[in-house]
Structure formats: C-alpha cells, structure tokens
Amino acid sequence: MSKRYWLFAGNILRVILLWICVSTLTPDINHSSFAVEKEYKEAEYLVVDELVVNNRNTFKTVICKNEEDGISEMRKLIASSRMEESWAYLPHQEKWIEIGHDEEEERKINKRYVTRARLDLQLLDRLMSENSNMILYHFHPFYCLSLEDKIKKREEDGLPMNNNEIERERTGSVIRSAYPSRSDLLNMIGNSTEFFERNAGGNITFKVCSHYGITEYHLTDEGLTFLYADNSLKQISRIIDISLAANIGVNIKGKILEINPRETRVPLKRIKMSPKQKRKSQSRYTIIGPLTKIQKAIESMTDEYIRVTFTPYR
C-alpha cells in the first residue's frame, strides 16, 4: 500500500484513540492520564539548564544533556511537581525537547481523579519527520490528590488515619504510579504508527519515570503488523484488558502482610510448604516488597504485541 494510505490510516487511528481517551475516563492503573493530542501554533524554543515543568504555551524548553543526567533531574520533579511533563529525548543529539502542552494539576472530575497532560502534536510530528531514533519520556508525580482527599474525609468523619495507614496508602499509590496508564498505552499505539510511517527502519520507545524506577513500553514487530492488518480496534480493546489485568495483579493477587514502609523489616507473605519446612520459623514466608509487586504487575502487561519492562533506579 502507498505511504499516503498509511499516513491517512495513522491519522484516523489517532482520532480513534483520542475519542477513547476522552470517553473512557475511568479509574485507571495509577490515575486517568488525560493525554489529549491537539495541534497548536508553533512555539518558541528556550534553552534551559535543567528539566522543568513548563505549562506556559508560549515557548518549549530544550535541555542539552545525556539521558542519565536528564533522568536524574526528572526524579527531582517526581518528588516536587503536581503536574506531569513530557519530552522527546534524541539520543544522537543528547537533547531533551519538551512536547507537553497545557499541563494541569490532578483534579477531580465526576468522582474520578484525572491528570491532564496534553501533547503538542504539531511539534511531535515534526520531530518524528526529522529524527529516526527517539524516546518519548514523561513522569508520574509522587503527589496523589485522591489520597489527600481520603485523609481529609477521614478527619471530617471523626475517623482520622494513623501514620501507618497513611504510609501504607501512600506506598500503594506510588507503586501504582510505576505503571503506564491506559491512555499512556493508547497514545503509544497512535504515536508509534505515526513514527513508523515516517521512519520505516527507525526506533521509538516510550518511558514513564516514577518514584521507584523507569517503565519502558513499546509495540513489538508483531504488534505493528497486527495494527497494519486493520486490527486497530482489536488492539485498543486489548490495551484496555491488559491495563485492567495489571491493576488486578497488584491489588488482589499481591495481598501481603503490610508494614510501615519506613521500617527496616520487609513485608512477608505466607506460602504453602511441607511439614518439615514449617518447623523452621522463617521458611513459612517469602519476601514481597514494592519492587516485586511492580515487576509482577508489569509482567502481566507484556505479550507478543506489547513489550513492557521495569528497571529500578540504581
């Protein structure tokens, strides 16, 4: 088929993905990331010294640093920012280019918690046309509005949460922020098709940085073939299913003996063992900590069409 056909098909797919992101704002793996893509007037570039969250649309920030240094600065933003930000990292130039637009803090909409994180589609398309190797980065902030609201409500009801309860809830929300949200995965599909229409032999991958590490996700060769075989709606349906599977995997299958995360002891989980093993006090337990819970959930998202991996910070 002609390149013009694939360009048309890719644009149609982006419209479908946009519609689904807007129409299915349901509780997500970590939160509903409202990653809307629109076209805007070209903004000015401003070279800065470090990664920043910029919600002013008059200019885009550019940072000339390698990937490791950029990640280090992003980790600071994870701890301090209440808004997400997105960048295209160009490895061959060691350059970070902001692609976010109209970033907003997490807020409550119709009883659901939503983070609005738009992408500058016009700029992203141009970068795809000019670069055959790129990584699209964004981060999930440590701050969780739903938890803060829960703490306040418990206080108003006369049943305040103690420190252990707050720490346990906060740890759970931070663990979930390590997963790409449903809209993260859907936008990955749309942007991958756009990229490969311009760069058949190129390479693009997607990474979300969280408190615990970096989660990378991208389509496999089989996944791209599946899309090009006019199975885009089936692929979208699969994305919704696997995002739900990851949520179940961490919240139901991963029940453990919770403790205060600040303590030096490790969480433990009972497992079945032989009578001889049970006579040994510590042999009845296996260690399951936050990183293990994240790994198990991430594994449930990977199949022949989508590859998702998690790498803890060193």
What is the maximum alpha-carbon separation in the chain? 71
Q: What per-residue confidence (pLDDT) applies to 199?
A: 93
- Name 181's Cβ contacts closer than 8 Å, sequence gap at least 6: 28, 29, 30, 31, 32, 33, 243
Q: What is the pLDDT confidence band of residue 269, given thresholds at 50, 70 and 90?
A: very low
CB burial of 15-37 (b: ≥16 within 10 Å; e: otherwise) equals: ebbbebbeeebeebbbbbbbbbb
Query: Higher model confidence: residue 172 or residue 240?
Result: 172
Query: Higher model confidence: residue 5 or residue 164?
Result: 164
The fraction of the chain above a pLDDT of 70, given in percent, is 68
Can you give the residue ranges of every domain in the chain?
A: 3-312
The fraction of the chain above a pLDDT of 90, given in percent, is 32
| pLDDT greater than 90 at residue 23 | no
Strand-pair partners of 98: 87
Specify whether the CB–CB gap between 40 and 57 falls below 8 A.
yes
Which pTM value belongs to this model?
0.77
Lowest model confidence (mean pLDDT) among 40-54, 69-83, 246-260 = 246-260
